[in-house]
Structure 1
C-alpha cells in the first residue's frame, strides 16, 4: 500500500516537497523484495507446470486391452436313432387229426318179414353209425351195394372229438337205384346227417340177389 504525504506549511510559510516511501528505501532492500517476489512467482509457475504435466500424464495412462474371448459354437448332435426290430411271431399251426378211415364191410342179413330188412353199417374210428331200411316187393331178395364210399368225417366233429350215429331210410327201385333218402334219426342232431346222405347217394345202384 502506498501512502502519500501531503506537504504541510512550516512556520516560515515554506512548502516542503513530499517524499514517497520507495524514495526513502535503500536500493538493497528493494532488490531483495523484487527477488523474493520473482522466486515466489517462479515457484508457483513451476508448480503449475508440474500439475499440468501430471494431469497430462494421467490422460495418457495406457490401458491394457483384455485378451479376446473366443466362443466355441455349440453344435447340436441328435441322439442315435435306435431301430427296434420285433421278432416275427411264429404262426400257430392248427393240426386237425382226422381218424383213419377204413373200409366198412356190409354183412347183409336175411329179412324176417316180407318187404322189410335192415342193414346196420358201422364206421370204425368215425363213430358214424348208419341204419338203412330197405323196402322191397320180394321177401327172398337181398340188396347189396355195388361199391362202397367211405363217409367223410366232418372237420368240426373231428376237431372236437364228437361221435354219433345216423339212421337213414330210402327207396330202392327195380333197377337198383337209390332214391327218397331221409334221415329218420341221428345223435347228435344234424352233425353227421349230410355226411351220411352223401355216402348213400354215392353208393350207386344196389344189386338184388336171390
Structure 2
C-alpha cells in the first residue's frame, strides 16, 4: 500500500511541474497580450498634435507715408521802417515850482578909526557875482520852504572861504545847496591902505520859498 502511494507521488510530480510551466507560459502570454493591447490603445487614443497659431502681443506699426519737404520760398527783402520818435519823459514830481531864493543883505563890519569913517585909500568889499542856490528836489516835492544863515570869509582875492551854517530852518534841508551856491560868489576884496585884505565874520541869509500854481 505504501509502495503504490510512493509511485503515485513520483508520477504526480512531473505532472504538477508541467502544469505549473504551462500556467506560467499562459500567464506570460496573457501579460504580453495585455501590454500589447495597452500600447495599442494608448497609441490610438493619442490625438494628432494641432499647430497653434502665433499670438501677436502687440500691433506692428505700419510704415508711415514718406513726406517730401518742399523748399520754402525765398524771404522777401527787409524793408526799412522809420524808427518811432521817442516820447518825452513824464515827470512824476508834483506841479510845484520853486520860487525865487531871496538873499538877505550881507552884513559888513563897520570900519573903525579916529574919524569913524573911510579914508581915501580904503574901500569895503563889493559883491561882483552872486549865484542863487538850487532848490532841492525833495523839498520842492514835499512843499517845504525855509532859510539858511551862513558865515563866511572874503579872501584877499575876492573868493569866498570858510563857509559854515549858523542857523537853518528846517535843519539840514537847504544847507548843502546854500553852501554850494555861496562858495561860487565873487567879491572885490576890501582895500586897506591900498592893499587887499581878507574880511572874516561875514554873514548872509538865503531864503527858500515855493510858488504854487
Which TM-score applies when normalising by structure 2?
0.39
Which TM-score applies when normalising by structure 1?
0.40
The structure having more radius of gyration, on CA atoms, is 1
Higher relative contact order (CA 8 A, sep 6+): 2
